[in-house]
Structure 1
Amino acid sequence: MRNAMLAATMLAMFTFPALAQETTVQPQPQAATQQAMPEDGIRTVETVVVDGEQPGPGLWLVRNGQHDLYILGTLRPLPANMQWQSAQVERVLAGAQEVIRMRLQISADVGYLKGLLLLPRMLGARKNPDGKSLQEVVSPQSYARWQVLKARYIGNDRGVEKWRPLFAAQELYKAAMKKSGLDNAKSVGPVIAKAIEAHHPAVTVVEEVILIKDPKSVLKEWSKTTVDDLACFDNAMRVIESDLDIMRARANAWATGDMAALQALPTAAQAEVCINAISETAIGKRLGYGNAQRNLKAKWLAAAEAALANNTVTFATLDISDMLGANGYLAALKAKGYTVIAPDE
């Protein structure tokens, strides 16, 4: 825990992730074309975000003879005022021999005191090299869009005008989520942790660690590094301008367990573009940032195969965007010969 604060700050700087009671859902409004355009020119389709206790989605099942692996597909952002209650997860965890968890960790090899002394330098590394303003490093068209969105979601914060586009995009995205009734930090983790504490299955942590041995030199290099993050900046604004309603609809579908609707809705992805902006820099490649997800996938699949060979029941969670699709985890397991059963089958 001595390096927890430092590691958390580094991670923030280098990343962008019983039966339910009555659902509180109001009818969705008519199409956006029937709504008046607001003065700032940003049209907001007001899909109401659910709140209260919600069941969440059903579990995917991967089967190897008499050995079952149940997988909960997770999603972010989720409705900010939702309380997830899943009877199915509780039942599975009550009989599970093992839980597989996955995490990417950035660790700085310094002591607690040195970590505290580095914090001001970390915060300063958010700024553009040579003291340039955001207006000086993005196109006039992008900056004009930024001003409109910043006024709506952030307000009169002058400090962010000195930040790199990558971090300005992150701040804007976070503020827009909050004002839209969504929470990118909301997690199913506490409910799962409580069930693990109650039933005591073995917990296997699949982990990839990026160790920063000399954070001072890394931060110095980072402060002088030019990052191709304009695509990240523009994509964040595009998501906020056009995809907020999709994100609310996906969050609702996850919360209410409507897997058909969730899979039918397009993905409003923001993080991947921004992660690529870092991983493709010389410093990102040297730290192995770009390989982390591939390494995690290989480790997770190995853990899943071991569990399917040895356990009667295993439980795991995966991000839905990583789990589904032609290159997803489920496709990889199916290609290995395991039976994959969707929640509604």
Structure 2
Amino acid sequence: MKRPYNFSAGPAVLPEAVLQQAAAEMLDWHGSGMSVMEMSHRGKQFEQICDEAEADLRELLDVPQDYAVLFLQGGGLGENAIVPMNLIGRREAHAADFVLSGSWSVKSYKEAQRYGDIAVAATAEQPAELDGSQQGPWTYMPDPMSWKVRPQASYVHLCSNETIGGVEFMDWPDPAELGVPQAVLTVDASSHILSRPMDVKRAGLVYAGAQKNIGPAGLTIVIVRKDLLGSALPICPSAFDYALVAENRSRFNTPPTYAIYVAGLVFKWLKQQGGVTGMESRNKAKARLLYDYLDTTDFYRNPVHRPVRSRMNVPFMLHDESLNGEFLQAAERSGLLQLKGHKSVGGMRASIYNAMPFEGVQALVDFMKEFERSHG
């Protein structure tokens, strides 16, 4: 039976081949007689799974050896607290600066205020005139040259893809280029990690919830430069102290074993697709197909500044919003699921992560054209 196309922003679609392999291995992983969910996290079978997943992730993102790769729990929201508890104490001022580009960076900023002296380096909260057109709030990325990062900041935080607003930062700035080499760049890459090459070396820390482009909810990836380890605040729980987790190869406590296993299958699938370079080519084609159509019609519109339109999350609005309910019902009947936009933005949103095939985006565009034809 043909599966419908799932455009959920997360938990999101997984590669069908990965789901099939996980199903085939559910009762007996490689002759062990156990499901991965039944294994000891300290046993040799799971150690193999975990170590292979780390090695494959390192290969995919070209992670240098002076960076630790950690498999944690708590999601991106959890990291909003865990990051400052680990990094803000590395400098005497206990200060951190935040670039506000949408809902998720604002959440990160608010949570960090519990742990130190937190300031806004730049914000897209206000409308702005860009390239001769007026952009609304949260539809553009503040130019890095306009960021005001304090010299005493331990780190500067960036959400490089705003899942709700559909804004993507393509090139991470090096803090040295901003004149603040001591302020480590920390990046929330949850909703576009592994969708394209990323220069991990430009950041001191990259984190990502798994449930968008990596695997099931419950796993969080942290990639952190090793010289940043060891400065956790006294209030930091041991299970979230990056130094302890790194020392124990992500097995200080019981990790999300099954989520790590599925993520490992996704990493191997990505390597078969040509790695992140191959995925970037596919993702560009999918995004181009959808945006090109949106730019040729007045029936729908995308509000995001064109140079920073996300390849992963595409919000769009119907010109006549009274048709929203009918659009969603008709889309679901056509096998196009979870297109409703976030409640804070409204409209529609198509999340077209790595596992969404080109055919799924083509089916969406064909449906949108037909809906426009019958309701225009």
What TM-score bracket applies, with the shorter chain setting the length?
Answer: under 0.3
TM-score between the two structures when normalised by the length of structure 2:
0.23
**TM-score, normalised by the number of residues in structure 1:** 0.24
